[in-house]
Chains A and B, each alone.
Chain A
Amino acid sequence: MSVVLEQIFQVGFLAAIIRIATPLAFATLGEMFSERAGVLNLGIEGIMLLSAMTGFTATNLSGSLWLGVLAAVVTGALMGALHALFTVALGLSQHVCGIGVTLFSSGLAYFLYRLIFGQQSVPPSIKSFETLPIPVLSDIPVLGPAVFNQFSLVYMAILAVPLAAFVLYRTPWGLSVRMVGENPRAADSAGVGVIATRFQAVILGGALMGLAGAFLSMAQFNAFTFGLVSGRGWVAIALVVFGRWDPWRSAGAALLFAFVDALQLRMQASGLGHIPYEAFLMLPFIFTIVAMAVMSRNAVAPSALLKPFRREER
């Protein structure tokens, strides 16, 4: 036990938690915006993968990391728009459309990647993001090197959380999002464009999922691999429930998951050799399922989640 405690308070361990939490935070915030407006986006897993691919490819071809990030964000927003087209404009089943978007995006990601790069013996790579220490702050003992000596995308994720909370709770648009997710009929009567607001929220959500994908292929790894996302999108959906559809709590949930994930990585490495490493890989997923079982009884989803809005229907 003391070994475990010792590990936890190491700088490297804290830094690993922050790094693992970053893509999850982006993805969780993205899914949260979408769901707060009443739209479940199961396309998240595929959107992250496709964005990771376009971001990686744009960087590989142009040499510019930020152009890659832009490509990933635009990809995410476009796929969000596609999901909104099906679920908001046409009012189709959010569950099945989301699966459709994931299957379509994943297939497209693999197809285009193979088309652009072919089958190379050495997989193509990019010069990925490098850590960017923040002056003064990075000198704080323990916390400094762990939190303030990170990729610029990590800082963006840290800033994204209060920003998301501000937008959701303190701006007119955020109020509209919450209204169309809770009571679209009332929002409509109050003059809020339900369809437009939902579109915007799902597109914003997609863009955030795109950032998550960009982080995976351009900061955490410097390549696009076939198992790159490996369930992180599904985890984000669970974290939204666990975080009770609130930006702060969702970010907290992402940190908690990242803690479990970082812990299992350490346990794998720390020579608990008689336990198969897959048991550790399973751990974050089992943890998430159990956490949902504990939390779901009290979790109150946005009332209009999964319900399409058609003005003429009463």
Chain B
Amino acid sequence: MFRLEARTNTPAWFNLALPLLAIGAALVLCSGLIALAGAGVIEAYGVMFSASLGDSYAITETLVRATPMIFTGLAVAVAFRAKFWNIGAEGQLLAGAVASCAVGAIPMPGPLAILLMAVAGAAAGAAVALVPATLRVKFRVDDVVSSLLLNSVIFYALMALIEGPWKDSFSGYPISPPIEDSANFPVLLEGTRLHLGVVAAFLAAPVIWFLVMRTTLGFRIRIIGENPEAARYGGIHVERVLISTALLSGALAGLAGVGEVGGVHFQVMSDISPGYGYSGIVVAMLARLNPLGVVPAALFLAAVMTGAEAMSRATGVPAFLSDVIQGTALLAMLVALLFTAYRIRRVGTAK
């Protein structure tokens, strides 16, 4: 007989082992789909790997792809720490993209433009996240549902803009006018798309880690998530901290949109985000809500996404495999997290 026993502490190597276990399980489970599509599993994963991490250009593409997911992953990690269920990173990203695009279209010196784009995008994302947080605090509306519904509202607002006042009058396509050339984020490596936002994302992770783990606000965010009663008893204004968390989370998700506008697309279109907001949830969970863990987790998903397209071209396996891998990895990670709460013990045969 085996029995589950509660575990009081978890060894540090779990932080690395569990995500790797989950990722491994997801890749093994999804290999069945590759076989179903009639392709070689080793070959398909091989193409995926070489197209995303195989050479220096591929690596830069994966880094660029990881950037928005680092931001949304941080946004979700911060929110989930406080048990603020922000599933609205997608809408907050879109709001950030729209706001930064509007600012970037105003002629001004480059550095000023980039700074103001970031400020506007973060503010827009924060404003959107404020809605579910306020509804929860003031009206006891479930934050999951309101933030999900808000994603649709923001998406339609974006569509109204690019099919209305922002529509390209020359081509007729629903694409916003491009931002000023001076507002384009500087490229760090000639011949690649490695832009300033990538560096910003890699810097944001340790900054957010410090904020969550080493500051008073971070302590409050963690305590209202872990034990709101104790927090209230200890004199912490739970509602106020929740609002602060939402603002921080929304701002981070908004920055994901800023990076996509300033560094990748230079304008806004309807498919500017292929679900980076939802991927942020997968990233945050793989990272065990640790801001530093968000970076490798986002890199993994980015590699899968970049690699899946090449794999699809080479083997005919639909690129949607990357979406299945994401979902499977999230579920596998949740199962793997059981090892942090329980250990399996062999016990004598019962009765």
Contacts and interface: CB of A to CB of B under 8 A. Distances in A.
Interface in A269-295: 276, 278-279, 281-282, 285-286, 288-289, 292-294
B149 A231 contact: yes
A196 interface: no
Contacts of A46: 327
B335 interface: yes
Interface residues of A, number: 45
B153 A282 contact: yes
Interface string A279-314: 101100110110011101101000000000000000
A27 interface: no
B100 to A, nearest CB: 21
A258 B285 CA distance: 36
A110 B151 CA distance: 21
A292 B318 contact: no
Contacts of A105: 327
B324 A107 contact: yes
B85 A289 contact: no
A276 to B, nearest CB: 4
A110 B323 contact: yes
Interface of B is mostly: helix
A170 interface: no
Contact of A103 (B160, B164, B330, B335): B330
Interface string B283-321: 001000000000000000000000000000000001011
Interface string A97-115: 1011111111110110011
Contacts of A100: 327, 330-331, 334
Contacts of A111: 33, 318, 320-321, 323-324
Interface in B319-348: 320-328, 330-331, 334-335, 337-338
B229 interface: no
B200 interface: no
Interface band, chain B = 35 or more
A237 B85 CA distance: 15
A57 to B, nearest CB: 14
Interface stretch (B133-141, B205-213, B249-257): B133-141
Contacts of A99: 87, 278, 281, 330
B330 A115 contact: no
B11 to A, nearest CB: 21
B141 A92 contact: no
A193 to B, nearest CB: 19
A292 B147 CA distance: 12
A30 B136 CA distance: 25
B112 interface: no
Contacts of B144: 42, 95, 237
A101 B331 contact: yes
B239 interface: no
A162 to B, nearest CB: 27
Contact of A95 (B85, B151, B318): B85
A235 interface: yes
A294 B146 CA distance: 13
B141 A293 contact: yes
9 contacts: A86-B331, A99-B278, A100-B330, A110-B320, A231-B149, A241-B142, A282-B152, A285-B152, A292-B139
Interface of A: 42, 46, 86, 90, 92-93, 95-97, 99-108, 110-111, 114-115, 230-231, 234-235, 237-238, 241, 276, 278-279, 281-282, 285-286, 288-289, 292-294, 296-297, 299
Given A99-B278, A103-B326, A281-B156, 4 more contacts: A92-B337, A111-B323, A235-B149, A237-B144
